Amino acid sequence: MDRLAQIWPLFGLRLRCGPVELRLPRDDDLAALADLAAAGIHPPDQMPFYAAWTRKQPPGFQRSFVRHHWGSRSRFAAQEWSLDLAVRRDGVPVGVQSVEARAFAVRRVADTGSWLGSAHQGRGTGTLMRVAVLALVFDHLRARAATSGAFLDNPASLAVSRKLGYRDNGVIVHDREGAPAHEQLLVLSAEDWRAVPRPAVEVEGVEDCRGLLGAA
Ligand SMILES: CC(C)(COP(=O)(O)OP(=O)(O)OC[C@H]1O[C@@H](n2cnc3c(N)ncnc32)[C@H](O)[C@@H]1OP(=O)(O)O)[C@@H](O)C(=O)NCCC(=O)NCCS
């Protein structure tokens, strides 16, 4: 293990599910992901995100992208954390899978969000990366539930959640770029996670991260 991962064990965390690997991005990984995101995540007439961060133009786009990830790193605390994991498929950077929690030690609930570069969507990667973080929180951190959500006009994200067994958990309305847009809230319980066989996920380095995640 390198020195940085000894100091900050989250850098040693690795999740693998088939061809997909997730790990905390180093700065060079962030540069590649920033350019991938700038190349496009969704058509310009759509907005799958609650904050319209994909509207910025280069080079401000890439700068605010890396600042966002640096901010998550610097604010990371057991009481409130966000793990924004770089996703590679067959070694190629394809997107980010986030998992975040507040008061995880008490609530044992984690929320997820994700994106893939447009060229990497629709090949099953979004499902595998979600399975990877669900295995982390349910099988290694003893989560009680995982939550997610997607706008009603985001069928790919909703399909990933539904095929993994999430249940509908209400609908809320957002101000999306000045117009109302409905978000389907979703929840997956630990019981529902364990009720069906899941793709195998290899998790490395989690022991040293438990304290940081409020899951000691
Ligand atoms: C959401 C996202 C991460 C999913 O990743 P992905 O690799 O494209 O997803 P997968 O290929 O694993 O699965 C997509 C599922 O959606 C289904 N789907 C896609 N478009 C669909 C449509 N128009 N109608 C119905 N189902 C659709 C696919 O058939 C597939 O389901 P299946 O495997 O049962 O056939 C990815 O599409 C993405 O990054 N989108 C843009 C950003 C985004 O929306 N992020 C989430 C914000 S909540």
The string of pLDDT tens digits covering residues 52-101 is 999 999 999 999 999 999 999 999 999 999 999 999 999 999 999 999 99
Mutate to test the pocket of ligand 1, among 115, 153, 174, 176 (most ligand atoms within 8 A of CB): 115
The reported pLDDT for the residue numbered 57 is 96
Task: For residue 129, count other CB atoms closer than 10 A to its CB.
Answer: 27
Q: Give the distance between the most distant pair of CA atoms in the chain.
A: 49
Q: Which amino acid is at 187?
A: V
- Closest approach atom of ligand 1 to CA 42: 41
- Closest approach atom of ligand 1 to CA 122: 11
Pocket of ligand 1 (CB under 6 A): 41-42, 48, 113-116, 121-127, 150, 154-157, 159-160, 163
Distance between Cα 28 and ligand 1 center (Å): 27
Q: What is the CA radius of gyration of the chain?
A: 17
What's the half-sphere exposure (Cβ side, CA atoms, 13 Å) at 113? 13
Q: Is 101 exposed, middle or buried (0-12, 13-18, 19+ CB in 10 A)?
A: buried
Distance between Cα 139 and ligand 1 center (Å): 25
What does the domain layout of the chain look like in residue ranges?
Answer: 3-209
Which pTM value belongs to this model? 0.98
pLDDT at residue 35 greater than cutoff 90? yes
For residues 159-171, average pLDDT: 98
- Closest approach atom of ligand 1 to CA 127: 12
**Fold (CATH) for 3-209:** Aminopeptidase (3.40.630)
For residues 142-147, average pLDDT: 98
- Closest approach atom of ligand 1 to CA 156: 16
Confidence bin at 1 (pLDDT 50/70/90): confident
Mutate to test the pocket of ligand 1, among 55, 127, 164 (most ligand atoms within 8 A of CB): 127
Kindly tell me the sign of the dihedral angle through the C-alpha atoms of 45, 92, 89, 21: negative
Mean pLDDT of the chain: 98
